[in-house]
Amino acid sequence: MTNARPRHLPVSRCTEREVLHKDYRAGTISAIGRVIERRGRERGSNFLDLLRKARLQYGCEPYDIGAIFLGAVTARLRRPF
């Protein structure tokens, strides 16, 4: 009997999305951060949950919250649990 690790570890697919801020005065869009989605499959409102998380984390003032939105998927991360 050996205590060797199994060859195939379960792997979770994570998705990294870019958090963007639109400046309505200047008309520019700038990247302000990233949010990682760790859910492997859709559970109803993954995108809305990520948007809520990004707005709470990166929004400083109440008028900033409406200007923060999520961009495209920047990376698909694979990490073992």
Q: What is the pLDDT of residue 4?
A: 56
- Within-domain flag for 3: no
- Quick one: CA torsion of 71, 77, 79, 81, rounded to 10 degrees? 30
- Within-domain flag for 6: no
Please state the domain count of the chain: 1
- Within-domain flag for 73: yes
Q: Can you give the pLDDT of all 81 residues of the chain as single tens digits?
A: 555 555 554 555 677 889 999 988 898 999 999 888 877 666 677 788 888 889 888 888 877 788 898 988 766 666 544
Q: What is the model's pTM?
A: 0.68
- Within-domain flag for 48: yes
Beta carbons within 10 angstroms of residue 5's beta carbon: 7
- Within-domain flag for 76: yes
Q: Tell me which residue range forms the domain holding 72.
A: 11-80
